[in-house]
Structure 1
Amino acid sequence: MSDEGQFRNTNGIIVNSQDDRERMKNAIEHEYAHQILYILTTYGQMMLMLEKNK
């Protein structure tokens, strides 16, 4: 994986385990923010509904 981390909608968060501890911590916090926005915003809910309709 070339990314430090990814938020995969309903499949959760993945983080590059080859990064050092501090970069992993930052990536986890960043991807967690994406998850919170996905859950709590109207846009996130719209994305969830579109995913389910695929």
Structure 2
Amino acid sequence: MDGHLSFHHGLSFPFWKSIGNPSLYLRTLVLTLVLVPWIVFVGVPFIDTLMKKMQRKNE
């Protein structure tokens, strides 16, 4: 161990190996581009559907 932690050490993203050791800004950009659409187009509608079902069940 050389004392510094590498981002791709804990998370095994295949593309990290192909681009070497990406900077913090590049990692943040990639994760943002991947996660934000999932949250907006999958996560929010899913939670909205669950809340509507729970609301109907309580009526």
More strand by share: 1
Give the helix-richer structure, 1 or 2.
Answer: 2
Which of the pair has more CA radius of gyration? 2
- Does the pair score TM above 0.5? no
Task: Give the TM-score band, short-chain normalised.
Answer: 0.3 to 0.5
Structure scoring higher RCO (CA < 8 A, sep ≥ 6) equals 1
TM-score (norm: length of structure 2): 0.34
